[in-house]
Amino acid sequence: MAKLFIVGLPKDMEEIALIEMFSLHGTVDTVTIVRDSMSRDSKGYGFVTLLDNAGADRAIAALNGAKIANRTLSVRYAETHSAVQKISPDRLKPKRPRRA
């Protein structure tokens, strides 16, 4: 399985349109468009999981940089949870100077 991250989706994009686009390059397993919880409009990004890496590579080659409704798609492999650097909330707080 190969999970792809897609950025640049139009606000009115539907899941069926993504399935149609990506199924030209491989067998689609799942499609998720991230949506606003209130309006249900697309937030402009989503995920597509293809059954194999060869299909994912073909989709990236064909669709990365493609124009849809005046938007440019960015298609790449999604990072796994282990690849995302975890930052503890303590590291985000401003540091206070130490007393001497």
The domain locations on the chain are 2-68
Taking alpha carbons only, the member of 26, 31, 86, 94 closest to residue 56 is 26
pLDDT at residue number 85: 53
pLDDT at residue number 70: 92
pLDDT at residue number 18: 94
pLDDT at residue number 41: 86
List CB contacts of 53: < 8 A, sequence separation 6 or more.
2
- The three-state secondary structure class of 73 is coil
pLDDT at residue number 24: 97
Average pLDDT per block of 10 residues along the chain, 100 residues long: 96 93 97 92 94 97 96 93 55 61
DSSP 46-60: EEEEESSHHHHHHHH
Query: What homologous superfamily does CATH list for 2-68?
Result: RRM (RNA recognition motif) domain (3.30.70.330)
pLDDT at residue number 92: 55
